[in-house]
Chains A and B, each alone.
Chain A
Amino acid sequence: DAGVTQSPTHLIKTRGQHVTLRCSPISGHKSVSWYQQVLGQGPQFIFQYYEKEERGRGNFPDRFSARQFPNYSSELNVNALLLGDSALYLCASSLPGQGREQLFFGEGSRLTVL
């Protein structure tokens, strides 16, 4: 079975541009979460979606938004890119488990903002 898949794997943008990152969860998983990992740091929580509804939001500006589709795939959008948005963006999926379930991560999308 395929794991969590993310696209694109790498991308380069310039300041002020917009980016869309995509994630397909493991088959049967209905919850998707997004994390940002800056070089040398642990991942930071951005969003969680379950059954197409936002269930949690981290401490990120409104330039960050996300959505989940009927097939449970998800998009993360970042507007007005800043140099500090350069990071590895990780998507995780899980079965519903009220917080006790295991999270499975994808390989990430490496974003470089110039």
Chain B
Amino acid sequence: KQEVTQIPAALSVPEGENLVLNCSFTDSAIYNLQWFRQDPGKGLTSLLLIQSSQREQTSGRLNASLDKSSGRSTLYIAASQPGDSATYLCAVRPGSEKLVFGKGTKLTVNP
């Protein structure tokens, strides 16, 4: 059974800091991995999708890496801003029908 763990559960940083969020998964047989952002009480916004054959994806200040063999992914946020405050969720696609999510990392960026 695929399990996804995100560390840390919560993170508080000052504005401008670079930071890394971690995601690990137990079974390396995945189609892809997707990072999402969730604001309180809201839906999920897709940030980055990494296919199993890829090593990393970049979008603006965000960079996500994937090491499938070790079951790890990281989301790097450069020059953090207060507007980046949200919960970040990692999800893997073990088969064609579903995503398996971690519990998320709650990020607070202080002005």
Residues of B with C-beta under 8 A to A44: 101
Contacts A42-B4, A100-B31 hold; do A105 and B43 have CB atoms under 8 A apart? yes
B103–A40 touching, CB < 8 Å: yes
Contacts A42-B4, A99-B93 hold; do A110 and B41 have CB atoms under 8 A apart? yes
User: In whole angstroms, how far apart are the Cα atoms of A104 and B56 in the complex?
Assistant: 20
Contacts A102-B49, A105-B46 hold; do A42 and B104 have CB atoms under 8 A apart? yes
A44 to chain B, nearest CB (A): 8
User: In whole angstroms, how far apart are the Cα atoms of A99 and B44 in the complex?
Assistant: 19
User: In whole angstroms, how far apart are the Cα atoms of A52 and B91 in the complex?
Assistant: 25
B97–A102 touching, CB < 8 Å: no
Q: How many A-B residue pairs have CB under 8 A?
A: 67
A6 to chain B, nearest CB (A): 8
A42–B89 touching, CB < 8 Å: yes
Residues of A with C-beta under 8 A to B34: 102-103
Number of interface residues of A (CB under 8 A): 28
B98–A41 touching, CB < 8 Å: no
The answer to whether the Cβ of A58 comes within 8 Å of any Cβ in the partner chain is yes
Residues of A with C-beta under 8 A to B103: 40-42
Q: For chain A, residues 79 to 109, give those with C-beta under 8 angstroms from any C-beta of chain B.
A: 88, 90, 92, 98-100, 102-108
B-side interface residues toward A, CB under 8 Å?
A: 4, 31-32, 34, 36, 41-46, 49, 51, 89, 91, 93, 95-104
A-side interface residues toward B, CB under 8 Å?
A: 4, 6, 33, 35, 40-45, 48, 55-56, 58, 88, 90, 92, 98-100, 102-108, 110
